[in-house]
Amino acid sequence: MMLTDLAVDPRSFDKDKVGYFRYGMVDGRVLMTNDVGEHLFLSPEDFRRFLAGQIGPEDALYEPLRRRYFFKHDFDLDALAVKIRRKKAFLQHGPHLHAVVTTLRCNHACRYCHASRTDMDRVDTDMSLDTARKVVDFAFRSPTPVLGFEFQGGEPTANFPVIQFVCDYALEKNRYENKELLLSLVTNLTLMDDEKMNYLLDKGVMVCTSLDGPADLHDYNRGWTGKTSSYASVTGWMDKFNAEWVRRGFDPDLFHVDALMTTTRASLTRGKEIVDEYVGRGIRSVHIRPLNPFGFAVNTWKQIGYSMDEFLEFYRTTLDHVIALNRQGVFVQERLASLFLTKMLTPDDPNYSDCRSPCGSGSAQLAYNFDGSIYTDDEGRMAAHMGNDFFKLGHVDSSSFDEVLRHPTVKALAVASIQDALPACHSCVYKPTCGVQPLHNYMFDGDIFGQRPLSRKCQEFYGVQKYLYHLLANDADGSVERIFRRWTISRSRPGTTPYAPANEVSS
């Protein structure tokens, strides 16, 4: 059945009773959504009755529709306002995620690298301690109650003294600022040693690494100059960190090395193996991520790239395996699905900067290059290394916090990601749970507004949400929804460490 088959005579439409909603078809049923984040499936016949105002209080469908705010009347307006305010709570604070690029030096040469790495002898790309101090001072000017520093590179541990300085200075400064301070490190782990590990654990720095799957796949994607395989070094240090967390008495379900994978063409037939690798290492969250259009990935696209249709097929089969494992009693979640499901099934928004409206570039996160230049986010910094400074907002030496937040580029990105004003987005059934990333549009289309529905990020988000709603629509016994609801539960790390979980992980 097509959407056009649902057409009704305008004279029969009850405009006084029917509230605002969006709709689409999912497996022969009508999916209705609204801006509060509610959704409901109706049969085509019941949908026509709803439009005609023929569903009254005595009807079994009346209460589900009323409770989800699909009528114009008979609901608590104050409660509705509270729900909307809760969904958009992320707008009430300034940038909470501050990516600190300690160096561009890296000992890897990954096929998809988007970080504009330099060779290990390029110490001129190291951040200085003076710049690091200014970065911390600048970040603390954000009014956010939760402040996160995320160390990135290159390989950030190649300039470990700056990591130490930022941690020590931020922790000392926070004795007076009293924010919830988050410290995290994105590292390939191959420059790690016991002294660094113990420092990071002592300071409560949470560690995230890259793990692309089994050894042969990981080493194919992530070549490096070491004497052993990258996989062997990475997994060895993951095991050491995790064992040390346990030795110190921490819950391994909460305190462990997290990992991210990047999908290349070589990954497309190996989704099950990738998930099993994560599960076998005690990692309970797998983020199935497509390639980014930055850095070296642009030059190697013919080797490692793929169409979005190919990625979505890979995503669906991999997600099916994740669900199957949960049915067998093995808890593991797919990260992107859990972000969308939090929006679909709970009153909250996880504040994932790449999938919110307006986007978080410059307003929820900032990135600081090794030289003190300030960018909208780490992707904006990468664009600058590719020759485009459009996303540069200022410098820690010369810019005030107000100037950066009020920068014309920040405003332009906000305008370009407000879905209510974007053609195709404003009427899309997935609009309430979706988001826009203008920088991705710019890299692919040369336009921050993008060409929906042709842009890759739109196709990715649309395809993932469509499949999630497909699974919910065909969930006769409720078992899939029970699994999905578990994925939306976030356990906070206890206050025994200065770190608390961030709302997002930078890509």
Q: What is the pLDDT of residue 500?
A: 34
**How many structural domains does the chain have?**
2
> Angle at CA 237, nearest 5°, toward 276 and 232?
60
- Looking at residue 6, its pLDDT comes to 67
| Closest of 501, 492, 357 to residue 420, by C-alpha | 357
Quick one: 317 and 204 in the same domain? yes
| Domain edge (last residue) among 23, 52, 87 | 87
What spatial distance separates the first Cα and last Cα of the chain, rounded to whole Å?
38
Q: What are phi and psi of 288, to 5 degrees?
A: -80, 100
Looking at beta carbons, which pairs linking 47-50 to residues 24 or more positions away fall under 8 Å? 47/6, 47/23, 48/6, 48/8, 50/18
185 and 65 together in one domain: no
User: Considering the domain boundaries, does residue 475 fall inside one?
Assistant: no
Helix (H, G, I), strand (E, B) or coil at 121: coil
Q: What is the pLDDT of residue 5?
A: 65
| Continuous H helices in 305-430 | 308-327, 335-345, 378-385, 401-405, 408-415
Together in a domain, 358 and 299: yes
Give the Cα separation of 496 and 397 in Å (integer).
35
CA distance linking residue 230 with residue 111, whole number of Å = 13
Which residues is 262 bridged to in the sheet?
A: 289
Is 22 domain-assigned? yes
Residue 433: C-alpha distances to residues 160, 249, 350, 354, 465 (Å): 39, 38, 11, 12, 8
Distances (CA, A) of 233 to 20, 190, 203, 226: 55, 6, 23, 9
Domain of residue 116 covers 89-385
| 70 in the same domain as 142 | no
Does residue 100 sit in the same domain as residue 73? no
In a domain, 413, yes or no: no
Residue count of the chain: 507
Could you read off the pLDDT of 482-495 as tens digits, one per residue? 999 999 998 666 54
Q: How far apart are CA 317 and CA 314, in angstroms?
A: 5
pLDDT of 506 above 50: no
- Categorize the per-residue pLDDT at 280 as very low, low, confident or very high, splitting at 50, 70 and 90: very high
Q: Are residues 297 and 211 in the same domain?
A: yes
| pLDDT at position 394 | 98
Mean pLDDT of 90-105: 94
Do residues 74 and 132 both lie within one domain? no
- For residue 387, what pLDDT is reported? 85
Does position 505 have pLDDT exceeding 60, yes or no? Answer: no
CA distances from 80 to 50, 74, 338, 391, 487 (A): 21, 12, 24, 36, 25
Q: Is residue 409 part of a domain?
A: no
Q: Is residue 454 part of a domain?
A: no
Considering the domain architecture, whether residues 82 and 205 belong to the same structural domain is answered as: no
**pLDDT (tens digit, 9 = 90+) per residue, 384-411?**
888 889 999 999 999 999 999 999 999 9
Read off φ and ψ for residue 19, nearest 5 degrees. Answer: -85, 180
Nearest Cα residue to 312 out of 345, 286, 336, 344: 336
pLDDT at 1 (0 to 100): 59
Q: Structure pTM?
A: 0.92
Residues 168 and 316 in one domain: yes
C-alpha to C-alpha distances, 354 to 189, 232, 488, nearest whole angstrom: 26, 32, 18
Instruction: Specify the 3-state DSSP secondary structure of 262.
Output: strand
Q: What is d(CA 324, CA 275) in angstroms, rounded to the nearest whole number?
A: 11
225 domain-assigned: yes
- In tens, the pLDDT along 317-349 reads 999 999 999 999 999 999 999 999 999 999 999
Query: What CATH number is associated with residue 155?
Result: 3.20.20.70
Name the percent of the chain lying above pLDDT 90: 77
Torsion (CA) 17, 20, 26, 29 in degrees, nearest 10: 0
Nearest Cα neighbor of 337 from 462, 435, 464, 471 is 464
Mean pLDDT for the chain overall: 91
Residue 459 lies in a domain: no
In this structure, the answer to whether residues 106 and 65 fall within a common structural domain is no
Token pair for 481: 């929804």
Pairing of strands 258-262, 206-210: parallel
Tens of pLDDT, residue by residue over 347-377, are: 999 989 889 999 999 999 999 999 999 999 9
- Out of 33, 52, 87, pick the residue that ends a domain: 87
Same domain, 79 and 93: no
- Which among 385, 402, 422 is the end of a domain? 385
Cβ neighbours of residue 322 closer than 8 Å, sequence gap 6 or more: 275, 286, 332, 333, 334
Cα separation, 351 vs 359, whole angstroms: 9
61 close to 30: Cβ distance less than 8 angstroms: no
Whether 68 is in a domain gets the answer: yes
Same domain for 157 and 241?
yes
Mean pLDDT score, 226-253: 92
In three-state secondary structure terms, 101 is strand
